[in-house]
Structure 1
Amino acid sequence: MSRWQRLFESNERLFWALHSAGWAGFAIIYYVGSFLHDVRPIWVFIILLNAYAGWLLTIPLRYLYRWARKQPPLKMIFTVIAACYGVALLWTVVKNVNYWEIYKHGYRPEAWYMYFSSTINSLIMIGCWSGVYFGIKNFQMLQKEKQNALKATTMAHQAHIKMLRYQLNPHFLFNTLNAISTLVLLKENDTAEAMVSRLSDFLRYSLDNDPIKKVPLGQEIKALRLYLEIERVRFDDRLDVSWDIDDSCEYALVPSMILQPIIENAIKHAISKMEQGGKIEISARTFGNDLLLDVADNGPGADIQKGQLSRENGVGLVNIKERLNSLYHRNFAFSIEHNKPSGVRVRIRIPYEVKDA
């Protein structure tokens, strides 16, 4: 964090910096404005004394205004006006004393009230100081409100993404547990144990990875292989999977568990409907600055309207599109097409990103 960032993030340091800079600026401007009047060191000394007096007298205003800002509007306005006038009057007396007693070497004005003359000039200066103080405070308050609103929006956005990721169809889990139960009844304990182990690894992966973060595609592929090995116990030779993953895609970052609902959808609506089983093809390649993911099956197909499936009560594919929109905004593509000669093909295009070393 730079020195300037630390300065603006601390209200205490910011006040003293601006307070001192403001009065130093007053002294410089006052000297330049009166340069033709007198250039002797005694006049410079008077200007510095007046600026220092203003610096001291306006410090209590900070604490008084801090209290006034918590009061009702009318009371706050009255307090500010009274405080401005009181400090301006006191500063005027100090400036006149400096002028008559030091600059004029003790020469007295004709009347005592001359010590209170030129109050209007002091009042303008104190009023400007007060205006700057309230302006900065109001600006800081607005910025804080914007930050709080942005933080709340970000938290809601992240919660939405997590909800979408964890809203997985329990159909897979129920079928897997039923398959394990069947294997136990058939006393195929080794197969049941292996299936439990794979299910445990798959669930651990799905829960351990933060839905907000992205994972390398190679890691995602390992989890998908676990999932497909579990499903292969149920379908045996009826489930054929083909992989075509380019080497350049292994470290490409993708949203965790982004392909699993697509493959689950293909197994549920394609493979399970075919007596002889079917085939699922999974591919990944790069094209320019994009990563292209493709999942296709050779099942009986589906009714696709305007790039969307017309099935009812399906949330898996809808959630994928919403997650992609939340993570990439408009910089992505998600399409559902008819596969040739039969089946459904789902295509995803996202920016090609690689985790920094």
Structure 2
Amino acid sequence: MNWKEFLEDRTRLFWFVHSAGWFGFALVHYLGSLLHDLRDIFVVIIFLNAYAGWLFTVPLRYIYRRVWNFSPIKIALVVIISSYVTGVLWQIVKNINYWEIYKHGYKPDFLLMYTQSSLWSFYIVLSWSCLYFGTKYYQMLQVEKQNVLKANTVAHQAQLKMLRYQLNPHFLFNTLNAISTLILVKENKTANSMVTKLSEFLRYSLDKDPMKKVPLESEIQALELYLAIEKVRFEDRLTVTFNIDEACQKALVPSMILQPLAENAIKYAVAVQEQGGEIAITVSQFANDLLIEVADNGPGAEIVNGNLHRESGVGLVNTKERLQALYNKKYSLVVSHNKPSGVKVNIRMPFELT
């Protein structure tokens, strides 16, 4: 049993705090009795009184649980009345203990004397009641806080899943459209090759949990599957070069983070040029960051404040939102002009190993 489980068990926590509180009460009174040079028998009275207080305050727990949902005024009245009655009963027992044991059977002249000093006992019980309600409210706040955190986590996971699954229909539409075109022009062999590669890519994509990060080497494999599909379309017009540091192969990255960037480069750099184009993927480590660059040699684009004006799909927007959801402010995505021509996308994220 660890402390977290212990504190979350309300019943066990109540009995522990309840017993520890009354033991502390007895200990304080015992230390105080040493200053008055009282007989040793007084120690027995102290612990009998503490035990009586322990017993009398137990029913208060069940009373307060029944009135928990009452209005604040009604709760206050119940607390005051219950604390006063309990304090009086406890004080009667304390007086009996003192007179019967310490005073050797002393009998007061009036029965009301058994209730003398009840006000002090009332304060003690009232303090117990306030501590009980304070602890209960604190536990409620902690539960509510955990519920809010769980709700935020669920919403966060739903957002990530939505962003991740946006990629499949987007990519699928483009690929199926290309296959349809190949069939219309009777390039059946090429179309069949694309269907085969598409099935492999989708199998890989759907097998990956969108909530989990994957090693970079797995992400590169997925990208190579995607590029193999595009190679069927563009043949020699598409050239891809990889420059991956060996130390980065095991680094964790969001699944399918490279594919939309490569798709953008193909759409705006390769497809628009008769001679095709080249895409260069570079990954390196700098201090505690992982640096990813996807660059092309296309005609370029208008870039303002690190954003593409031509962007109208889900590629870069999706990537930014996923990075924001996963890393908060611990990332950057910058779009800039490539030299001598084209566009490059640079991503910085925390370097994490599997």
Give the TM-score of the pair, scaled to structure 2.
0.95
Mapped to 2, the partners of 1:338 and 1:268 lie a distance apart of 16
Shift of 1:343: 0.7
- Alignment partner of 1:210: what SS? coil
Q: Tell me the equivalent position of 1:83.
A: 82
Post-superposition Cα deviations, 1:144-189, rounded to whole Å, max 9, x if no partner, equal 1111111111221222222222222745323322443455567766
- What's the RMSD between the two structures over aligned residues? 1.8
Which residue does the alignment assign to 1:58? 57
Instruction: Classify the secondary structure of the residue corresponding to 1:273.
Output: coil
* Cα deviation 1:298-338 (Å, max 9, x = unaligned): 11111101110012533310221121122112222211011
- What is the rounded CA distance, in whole Å, between the counterparts of 2:26 and 2:194 in structure 1? 82
**Structure 1 residues 49 and 171: alpha-carbon distance in aligned structure 2, compared to 1, 3 A threshold:** closer
Deviation string 1:65-94 (CA, Å, 9 cap, x unpaired) is 111111122221211111111101110111
Q: Aligned partner of 1:353: which letter? A: E
Q: SS of the residue aligned with 1:6?
A: helix
Bigger mean CA offset, 197-206 vs 46-55: 197-206
SS of equivalent to 1:327:
helix
**Paired residue secondary structure (2:345):** strand
Residue by residue, what CA displacement relative to the aligned partner does 1:267-298 show, whole Å, maximum 9, x if unpaired? 11111100111111111111222211111111
The one-letter code of the counterpart of 1:130 is S
Change (3 A) 1:271 1:188: closer
Match of residue 329 from structure 2: 330
Distance 1:123 1:70 in 2: 24
Match of 2:118 in 1: 119
Distance 2:136 2:170 in 1: 56
Tell me the distance in 2 between the aligned counterparts of 1:129 and 1:228: 71
Q: One-letter code of the match for 1:203? A: L
Q: Does 2:197 match 1:198? A: yes
Letter in 2 for 1:60: P
**AA partner of residue 320 (structure 1):** T
Could you tell me whether the CA contact under 8 Å between 1:68 and 1:80 is conserved in 2? no
In the alignment, the residues of structure 2 paired with residue 96 and residue 38 of structure 1 have an alpha-carbon distance, to the nearest angstrom, of 20
Instruction: Map residues 16-27 of structure 1 onto 2, 5 A cutoff.
Output: 16-27=15-26
Q: How far apart are residue 107 of structure 1 and its match? A: 1.5
Judging changes above 3 Å, is the alpha-carbon distance between structure 1 residues 110 and 171 closer, same or farther for their aligned structure 2 residues? closer
CA distance in 2, matches of 1:290, 1:175: 33
Aligned pair in 2 of structure 1 residues 6, 312: CA closer, same or farther (>3 Å)? closer
Distance 1:89 1:189 in 2: 96
| Correspondence for 1:44 | 43
The answer for the alignment partner of 1:173 in structure 2 is 172
Unaligned stretches of 5+ in structure 2? none
CA–CA separation in structure 2 for the residues paired with 1:235 and 1:174: 17
Name the amino acid aligned to 1:249: C
Q: Which moved more, 1:333-342 or 1:196-205?
A: 196-205
Query: Which residue is 2:95 aligned to?
Result: 96
What TM-score do the two structures reach when normalised by structure 1?
0.94
Contact persistence 2:193–2:232 (CA under 8 A): no
Distance 1:55 1:284, change over 3 A: same
Q: State the percentage of identical aligned residues.
A: 61
Identify if the C-alpha distance between structure 1 residues 294 and 105 changes in structure 2 by more than 3 Å, giving closer, same or farther. same
Q: How does 1:1-357 map to 2 (within 5 A)?
A: 2=2, 4-168=3-167, 170-183=169-182, 191-311=190-310, 313-355=312-354
User: Which range moved further: 336-345 or 286-295?
Assistant: 286-295
Report the Cα distance in structure 2 between the residues aligned to 1:174 and 1:76, rounded to whole angstroms. 63
Partner of 2:34, secondary structure, is coil
Indicate the SS of the match to 1:158.
helix
Q: Secondary structure at the match of 2:36?
A: coil
SS state of the match for residue 353, structure 2?
coil
* Maintained 8 Å contact 2:284/2:290: yes
Q: Distance in 2 between matches of 1:194 and 1:279?
A: 22
Task: Give the C-alpha shift of residue 38 in structure 1.
Answer: 4.4
The offset of 1:122, in angstroms, is: 0.5
Q: How many correspondences in the alignment?
A: 354
The aligned amino acid for 2:52 is A
Contact residue 281 and residue 294 of structure 2 kept, 8 A: yes
1:46-75 residue CA offsets vs partner (Å, 9 max, x unmatched) = 111100000001000001011111112222
Matched residue type, 2:36 = H
Q: Distance in 2 between matches of 1:312 and 1:331?
A: 24
SS in 1 for 2:167: coil
Whole-Å separation in 2 of the counterparts to 1:324 and 1:191: 36
Hey, what's the Cα distance between the residues in 2 that align with 1:252 and 1:288?
13
Contact 2:92 2:115 in 1 (8 A): yes
Residue ranges of structure 1 left out of the alignment (5+ in a row): none
